[in-house]
């Protein structure tokens, strides 16, 4: 865990977060607390409730019980777009990139959306320049500065993921939720993407939560690991402590670990 982690107020806190459908409890009383600079890996077997937890945090699903606090404000009843405006950024497994537009055009649209979402920003030279600069900054943050002219639909998975992250950065999030960013990415492109993701907590001055099945990747990135099992939080601690926990091993990690 890096030195600055664990100090300051929570940027994201969930308390007793629960989602029930009929008789099934999909997310079961999850309480988490994240500070600026912290990277939380969320792991657990298929169907453990990881994506559902992200849905509750981002507001895509309404919690049956419990609360979500973002930067000290209770956002439990807010719609997803209002949480986004308050600093929550989330990538989806389905890409949000416009495939027929260039990388730079995609970034400019995302930056423009932060200027009220209309074409207003483009009408003044100053507004246009601010949008263009913001777009370039976001592309630089993910190492895509040299790829601005590329048609987004032609990017390899690894670059597409970087672009998705750049588009999120345009919204100046303080908390980012990444759902399986390595899915579909070619093995040789994984290290590069990992380095981009590693830089995110510092870049946003906030916290990153990442669901990932690729254990080597998550162990290399996470300050803490949250292990979900049957919707509940089985453990949440440093990777070393979690990996040594016999309850976790029995429930999820298997004997080979």
Ligand X SMILES: Nc1ncnc2c1ncn2[C@@H]1O[C@H](COP(=O)(O)OP(=O)(O)OP(=O)(O)O)[C@@H](O)[C@H]1O
Residues at the site binding ligand X, with contacts judged by CB under 6 A: 21, 26, 44, 46-52
C-alpha span between 244 and 223 (Å, rounded): 15
The nearer residue to ligand X, 51 or 106, going by C-beta atoms, is 51
| Tokens representing residue 13 in the block | 């806190």
Structure tokens given for 90: 């989330």
32 is written with which tokens? 């988490």
Q: Which is nearer to ligand X, 26 or 103 (CB)?
A: 26
Q: How far apart are CA 221 and CA 230, in angstroms?
A: 24
Least spacing, CB of residue 201 vs ligand X, in Å: 22
Closer CB to ligand X, 61 or 104, in the complex:
61
Q: By C-beta, is 52 or 112 nearer to ligand X?
A: 52
| Least Å from the CB of residue 42 to ligand X | 8
Least spacing, CB of residue 45 vs ligand X, in Å: 7
| Of residues 159 and 179, the one with the C-beta less far from ligand X | 179
Closest alpha carbon to 218 in 235, 193, 188, 246: 193
* Least gap, CB of 48 to ligand X (angstroms): 4
Closest distance to ligand X from the beta carbon of 107 (Å): 28
To ligand X, the closest distance from the beta carbon of 23 in angstroms equals 11
Between 113 and 253, name the residue whose CB sits nearer to ligand X: 253
Is 42 within 8 Å of 53 (Cβ atoms)? yes
């Amino acid at each position: 865990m890096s030195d600055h982690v664990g100090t300051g107020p929570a940027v994201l806190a969930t308390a007793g977060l629960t989602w029930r459908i009929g008789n099934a409890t999909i997310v079961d009383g999850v309480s988490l607390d994240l500070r600026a600079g912290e990277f939380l890996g969320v792991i657990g077997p298929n169907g453990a409730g990881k994506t559902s937890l992200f849905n509750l945090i981002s507001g895509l699903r309404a919690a049956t019980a419990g609360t979500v606090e973002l930067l000290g404000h209770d956002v439990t009843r807010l719609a997803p777009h209002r949480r986004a405006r308050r600093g929550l950024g989330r990538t989806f497994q389905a890409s949000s990139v416009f495939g027929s537009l260039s990388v730079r055009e995609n970034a400019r649209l995302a930056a423009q959306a932060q200027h009220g979402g209309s074409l207003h920003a483009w009408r003044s030279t100053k507004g246009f320049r601010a949008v263009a600069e913001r777009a370039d900054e976001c592309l630089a943050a993910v190492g895509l500065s040299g790829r601005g002219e590329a048609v987004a639909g032609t990017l390899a998975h690894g670059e597409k993921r970087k672009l998705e992250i750049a588009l999120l950065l345009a919204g100046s999030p303080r908390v980012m939720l990444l759902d399986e960013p390595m899915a579909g990415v070619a093995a040789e492109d994984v290290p590069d993407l990992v380095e981009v993701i590693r830089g995110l907590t510092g870049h946003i001055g906030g916290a990153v939560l990442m669901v990932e099945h690729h254990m080597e990747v998550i162990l290399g990135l996470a300050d803490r690991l949250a292990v979900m099992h049957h919707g509940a939080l089985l453990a949440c601690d440093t990777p070393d402590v979690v990996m040594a926990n016999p309850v976790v091993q029995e429930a999820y990690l298997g004997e080979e670990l």
